[in-house]
Structure 1
Amino acid sequence: GLKIGADQEAWSVHQDAQIEFQRDHRLCFVAKGINPDHQNQARIKSSMPNAWSLIGQVEAQVNDDDTVNFYFKKEHHLMTVLEGGPYKYIGWMIVLDRWSNMRYPSFLRYIPFWIKINKLHAMYQKIGIVNSIGSKLGHVDEVLITEQIKTHLPEVWVKVDFDVDSTITLARSVEIMPNTPPVELEFKNTGLQKLCTTCGSFKHGYEVCPKVDDDREQSFYHCS
């Protein structure tokens, strides 16, 4: 169609309208499904208030970029939801972030996980060592080491911000001290349900994993 005026100087919305828009989004966060093949944003919009036990307390709007804005009436409801993650829809992860963080590169990029570290020898259960191991999984926000109480064995936990573009690690050999055999540790992510069982990505299922095609291609070239 005609675009008369498109090559002229851009207009700017009046400042009072911009301020009002920002004020309307003060108690707003944005949600996005990580696996678009399995997650529908309209259904995320309708289902999540029920998952948070906040029916009637939050309004939602699907955006053109396949994200969903959730508007809260009370700040403590918003904070409770943000701190209670991670969240998922039909088993696949959802990433949340405050609308006010939209201008930052980290927007909608990280999911907070509590990760239990198993098989770490008791003598290595120290804050510095656990923090170092946790840093391989994501940005460490907190370290928790519990002591043995009666029949409850000690546990080692880290809370990390996990990059949604990364892949999950469920086990890894770790050299803790020089000239000592590596220890094979196992990692259990609280709240994690569905992921690609081939590469560990949240963004697709194993049936469409590009790594499967890469492995097949490498096998073909090797055989030929």
Structure 2
Amino acid sequence: MQEIWNVLSLGGPTAIPLMIASIFSLAVIIEKTIFFAKNKQDNKNLIRKVEMMIDEGDTMSAYNQLKGKKGPNVKLLSTALSNLDEDSERIREALQVTGQNEIRKMEKHLTILDVIAMIAPLLGLLGTVLGIISSFNILGGAAGIGDPTQISAGIASALISTAIGLIIAIPTAIFYSYFSKIVDRRAHQLNQSIVEIMDVVDGNDRGEKYEENVKNIS
């Protein structure tokens, strides 16, 4: 702990903001890693089974299959089942809203990583500039060559600040890119799921079958 504090003290005034940024970055990385691990892609066999039940008008069995299940596709199917008495356009709108909400959950806090990846090198550069200015001030105010220890301290401050900024920015940018690709891939899969569900709904005779199964559920 003492060694870390020593490095921070040598890093100059921008070292503390950089450390705070690194804490936020690490917290977001851990949170998103856990989130994506818990919200993996849904079981395709389950999805196909529920879609077949919807196609056959067996709404009650479809509801039972989804009970206790989690995931974006399960949310889409639940939305479709809840709106089977509506027209196709209304069901499509409801599915799109649900899909957008799921995407927002996946994107949550990613902006923090993007901002930190951008500002960390700038803070490091600011620390470098301040350290160099300090060294030149020592040289300008000293008789002769000045105190080498003070000059080297200013240079060390400049170099350490730059290093800290890059150490924070590089992994943050990597994780931001990685999580963004996961979001893009899953958003594409959600759009495909909406199309598949609408194909089932549009091809399903929902009239009497739906009313009969809703009575059974009630």
Smaller-chain TM-score bracket: under 0.3
Which structure shows the bigger proportion of residues in strand conformation? 1
Could you state the TM-score of these two structures normalised by the residue count of structure 2?
0.23
Which structure shows the bigger proportion of residues in helix conformation? 2
- Larger of the two Rg values belongs to structure: 2
Could you state the TM-score of these two structures normalised by the residue count of structure 1?
0.23
Q: Which has the higher contact order (CA 8 A, sep 6+)?
A: 2
